Chains A and B, each alone.
Chain A
Amino acid sequence: MELGEVLLAVGRFLLATTLLLLLTVPTAFIVIQMELKVIALMQLRYGPNRVGPRGMFQSTIHGFKVLAKEDITPDQADRPTFTMAPWMVFMAAAMSLLVIPFAPGLVAIDSSISVVYFFAVLGLSVVGLLVAGWSSYNKYSLLGGLRSAAQMVSYEIPLTLSIVGIVVLTGSLSFTEIVEWQRVNGWGFFWQFWAFPIFFIAATAEINRTPFDMVEADSEIVAGFATEYSGMRFGFFFFAEYVALFIMSTVVVTLFFGGWLPPFFELPGGFIGTLLGVIIFFAKTYFFVFVAVWMRATLPRVRVDQLMGMAWKWLLPLALVNLFVTAAIVLIFNLKPVGGA
């Protein structure tokens, strides 16, 4: 490889990383704003309506408020890990954005194993949560950290197994190729309607959203792993959580709802097509963010034993059954994946 190519690749990587890191900030603000406003409307309240037009900048102000707050480290906390944990959680969420295709050609790293990369990197956040829980010298934090470890380890398995069906159908581990396959064959949801609920439930648990927010169950263990965090470090956890919600929605859209593909027509080429693709992609993504917010406003939290029981007794067997049925169908009807493998 020539030096120029290497430099180009490195430059492209740095640019993409920077842009995506910058993207996380407005994304988190928008998701938080959505959560504030949507839940308020569902609860027959006004919600934020003071900062900016229709309270539009409330979450932004929240962000700056968190920045300005005092950052306290407990006396007996394990300082290096305590400081590092928020970064680990946030970076895991932000780095997994690298492989998400927003529109044709608009992807930071178009890797052929982006699906594997995605789940590997997103799974790293459990380390951050566990470290945060352990290093705080707080019993609530410890319980929260342990819960997060148990929960994420359990739900990683049905989560990844449930998409193997799609991978078998498409014969590819690349998000871009999976979307391309859906352009030809229709949305993955119609092929894998059974895998979608499994994936969605497991994803909700994976990112600790209601009804599976055991990790920071505020009525039981105060704030879980984040109990002792304040200021910007708490802000990072907060950000990471909402960015993760956004990312999980993008993956749902990419794998099951055609990514940037519009429902009834073909995208035009060129810049217009890319722009339209991005708009369609974000519209679909925010619909699933909305569904998550809706669930938060409606459902109570499940208990920790019910949570684990659901992962191992229901989701995992169902995901396995789904995988076998899909594989059998692919074999029997001799379906040709788009990659021609």
Chain B
Amino acid sequence: MADLRRPRPAASRLGRGRALTAPAAAGALVRALTDRFPELAGSLWTDEDTVELQSDGSRNVEVLRTLRDDEALRFWWLGDAAAVDYGPHEHFEVVYHLFSDLHPAWLRLRCRVNRADPHIPTITGLWEGAMFHEREMYDMMGIVFDGNRDLRRIYMSPDYRSFPQRKDFLLPDDAADSSAAGVNPLERPETWDLSRFREELTRSPAPHYPPADEAAE
């Protein structure tokens, strides 16, 4: 098990955009993208089979719609939608991978999301199938997709309060001897607030086993 508390200096740099490094076989795609999204052209980056584009989180629907519907692009296949956490003082990213018959490359769109206020528009209007992706991202990272009409937890139970794939989520064995032990409320069931669901129950006295004299009666 890796030590999560070791410093990860490169992690913060990962989120930054990098320049176009290598000309891929996807020259036509790069030209089309620079043509359609001149303001995002600075973030273009390719490797041997991927073309990468970065945009702000609020623009994701607009960019994805252009990518899907534009005749020269036609990225009809939503391969993947994933969330990435770059650490407590950085930001989230929602990453979409697209595929088009016209171009021999995966298209990766990275959308930046503010970590303090993680909101991003839903893309379920473009691809219905993004629903489970977004529910998973909400469940695991806590990113809220505005407009999604079924944003529930999908893997964890509905009364779970934490977001397990965030980088500041400590695994139980780490949490026990971390500096935050006893302070951090994550992953400790006794700190989960269930009052929202069972108000009446919390008002009644705590469950107890009847003492011997009561049981005898």
Touch test A–B (CB under 8 Å): no
B interface list, Cβ under 8 A from A: none
| Residues of A bordering B, CB below 8 Å | none
